[in-house]
Structure 1
Amino acid sequence: MNDKERHGMTALSTDGAWAGRRVLVTGAGGFIGSHLTERLVRAGAEVRAMVRYTGRSDLGMLADVDPEVRRSVEVVHSDITDPFAVRRAIADCDTVFHLAALIAIPYSYVAPASYVATNVTGTLNVLEAARDLGVRRLVHTSTSETYGTARYTPIDEDHPIQPQSPYSASKIGADAMAESFYRSFDLPVAVIRPFNTYGPRQSARAVIPTVAAQVVAGREKIALGDLRPVRDLTYVTDTAAGFMAVAAADQCVGQVTNIGNGRGITIGDLARLIAEVAGRPDIDIVEDSQRLRPPQSEVFELIAGTERARERCGWEPTVSLRQGLTEVVDYVRANLGRFDVDRYVV
């Protein structure tokens, strides 16, 4: 990758439209949230980052953000399930990006009630506070998992919704609450529906860092779940740009907008591509039964229809899959100690 290509992946927007705007990012300590927070700061926004409270005052992935950027962020340690805390966090903010959620699908089989509390009730707390405080724009984060296994591809925003896991059911409920507040109270809420996002800072819970860590660590075999599902993968800086584009576009208010590449790859082929990028193309890939979803819960094909993203807000992805995977492999090599390659992370 040449310097120009790398700069295009890592340099963040300096769009003057965000200069001086007061913005809240819930879930700012997460993978996408940390990248979005960084991009907003570099664009000139005054960012308040809502991070889930722990006794360690953990910043999550915000700890990996450039220290100069991080010093510009107002960090609020809080909890999305507390309506009073949410209201305080939103106060005086012009725009809210709501990313806080429980997202691990395997754990949703274990503790579904916690997903309802965080993803549905937490979203209700955000909606109520945004309505009462007169927020100019709220971007609510959905997920391609709400579509379930594709009935047709590419999957456009009119595709039927299918709850195939407690996680996806909770996100469907949250999306419905957002739509209801738009229709009932004219709340200026836009729903963004990212397909699978990947990149530096992503946890080993996700398939790409899981594979990359095992390859970089020198394992002879890569242990994965089902190798057949097809996923549409977007590099995280492109996804962050999508959030900002959706927030800026009036045409996205009251609508769901997909963010994806419009191309799919099987998990098996993805693992082989990661191994190739890492210089180990001959590594064995094996199926690990403990990583399999229940048969009726597995989502077998997700390929985004992105025409409306282009039409409504002018968003298109810019980073190729090979370029993005190269960045991930480099990140994992530099941070291998953070990955427990011998343990399945739920």
Structure 2
Amino acid sequence: MKNSILITGATGFIGKHLVKKIPNYNMAVDQNGKNIDLRIRKEVLKIKRADIVIHLAGKIPSEKNYSKNIFFEHNILGTLNILEYCVKKKVKKIIFVSSYVYGNAGKNPINEKYEIKPHNTYTKSKVLSEELCKIYAEKYKIEIIILRPFNIFGNLQKDNSLISNIIKSIKNNSHITIINKNNKRDYLFIDDLIDAIIKLINYKCKFEIFNIGSGKSYSFENVVQLFEKKNKKKIKRKYKTSKKNSIPKIQADISKIKKEIKWNPKYTLVEGIEKIIFKNTK
């Protein structure tokens, strides 16, 4: 008998892609607040029991909420209630998709042992959620995997990231604003992240943390240029500089996840961009 899976945040960017890729599982799917509020414990505890929980739900940064305490209310309380659900329902495993948590690490590539330096309220909420996961794993012997994605990109993305803004620019023929154009980030195509999550469903452990990215980094300006090259059209842009929470370079060390679950990124940044352009211009 196959495992039943509860996916929180199933209507979000990652959730929509994940649901498409695991249709053979008997899933209990939470619609990220549309039919249940993860902040209300009694509502969470009404959810039908699942063998495995993939916890994606939570507030993400935007221009409107980036510095507000909304992250603590939704992300930490939501995670705590999901953990309580797992205890009450005797869930076998949790896969918690966290975030990049290392701030300005100084050295690259960044492995899982690097010092945690939350650089904004959102990241702090994810770090505290991770701590809750660790406590519950130790106290209740729940198998928990924490996944720390770097910069995930792909179709259906609607956040305030560089690539989301580039896609909007292409569709609307509008300009984008690039802050600190030479800063570099590690970009991983959404299909590769989904592939890793699916592999982790069958990975046995007590408590593990994995970084996930491509293992390569590209400057913001370089990413825009790649879109221009593949779309054969110039992108209007304005440049700004800012020292606030500025991180010059981020690059993931993905050696641990590659070794443990025999996973490798299948898509380069260019190949991911090609798939996005094809989807948004056909």
TM-score (norm 1): 0.77
Query: For the residues of structure 2 that align with 1:299 and 1:102, how far apart are their CA atoms?
Result: 22
Give the deviation of 1:317 after TM superposition: 0.8
Instruction: Map Cα deviations across residues 142-174 of structure 1 (whole Å, 9 max, x no partner).
Output: 111x11122211110001100110011111111
Contact 1:215 1:222 in 2 (8 A): no
Would you say 1:163 and 2:118 are equivalent positions? yes
Assess, with a 3 A threshold, how the Cα gap between structure 1 residues 53 and 191 changes in structure 2: closer, same or farther.
closer
Aligned position for 2:170: 215
Instruction: Map Cα deviations across residues 193-247 of structure 1 (whole Å, 9 max, x no partner).
Output: 111111110015221121133134334x432233132111111111011112222
1:316 aligned to which of 250, 264, 267: 264
Aligned position for 1:128: 84
Assess, with a 3 A threshold, how the Cα gap between structure 1 residues 126 and 170 changes in structure 2: closer, same or farther.
same
Query: For the residues of structure 1 that align with 2:110 and 2:181, how far apart are their CA atoms?
Result: 21
1:302 aligned to which of 247, 250, 257: 250
Aligned position for 2:108: 153
Letter in 1 for 2:125: S
Would you say 1:100 and 2:57 are equivalent positions? yes
Assess, with a 3 A threshold, how the Cα gap between structure 1 residues 174 and 204 changes in structure 2: closer, same or farther.
closer
Aligned position for 1:246: 200
Contact 1:175 1:191 in 2 (8 A): yes
Give the deviation of 1:130 after TM superposition: 0.4
Assess, with a 3 A threshold, how the Cα gap between structure 1 residues 106 and 229 changes in structure 2: closer, same or farther.
farther
Contact 1:213 1:332 in 2 (8 A): no
Aligned position for 2:138: 183
Query: For the residues of structure 1 that align with 2:279 and 2:93, how far apart are their CA atoms?
Result: 34
TM-score (norm 2): 0.93
Contact 1:164 1:299 in 2 (8 A): no
Instruction: Map Cα deviations across residues 295-340 of structure 1 (whole Å, 9 max, x no partner).
Output: 3423332211111101211111101111110111222325xxxxxx
Contact 1:209 1:332 in 2 (8 A): no
Tell me how large the CA RMSD over aligned residues is: 1.9
Query: For the residues of structure 2 that align with 1:105 and 1:176, how far apart are their CA atoms?
Result: 24
Letter in 2 for 1:114: I
Query: For the residues of structure 2 that align with 1:203 and 1:329, how far apart are their CA atoms?
Result: 15
1:80 aligned to which of 16, 38, 44: 38
Aligned position for 1:5: none
Contact 1:196 1:231 in 2 (8 A): yes
1:271 aligned to which of 208, 216, 224: 224
Query: For the residues of structure 1 that align with 2:104 and 2:22, how far apart are their CA atoms?
Result: 34
Letter in 2 for 1:78: I
Aligned position for 1:286: 238
Letter in 2 for 1:100: A
Query: For the residues of structure 2 that align with 1:201 and 1:283, how far apart are their CA atoms?
Result: 20
Aligned position for 1:195: 150
Query: For the residues of structure 1 that align with 2:159 and 2:230, how far apart are their CA atoms?
Result: 18
Letter in 1 for 2:29: A
Query: For the residues of structure 1 that align with 2:56 and 2:230, how far apart are their CA atoms?
Result: 31
Letter in 1 for 2:251: I
Aligned position for 1:39: 21
Contact 2:67 2:121 in 1 (8 A): no
Contact 1:155 1:303 in 2 (8 A): yes
Q: Which runs of 5+ in 2 are unaligned?
A: none
Contact 2:112 2:209 in 1 (8 A): yes
Query: For the residues of structure 2 that align with 1:130 and 1:204, how far apart are their CA atoms?
Result: 29
Letter in 2 for 1:233: Y
Query: For the residues of structure 1 that align with 2:164 and 2:230, how far apart are their CA atoms?
Result: 13
Letter in 2 for 1:116: F
Contact 1:278 1:329 in 2 (8 A): yes
Give the deviation of 1:106 after TM superposition: 4.0
Identical-residue share of aligned pairs (%) = 22
Query: For the residues of structure 2 that align with 1:79 and 1:224, how far apart are their CA atoms?
Result: 35
Aligned position for 1:8: none
Query: For the residues of structure 2 that align with 1:187 and 1:131, how far apart are their CA atoms?
Result: 8
Assess, with a 3 A threshold, how the Cα gap between structure 1 residues 299 and 132 changes in structure 2: closer, same or farther.
farther
Assess, with a 3 A threshold, how the Cα gap between structure 1 residues 332 and 303 changes in structure 2: closer, same or farther.
same
Aligned length: 282
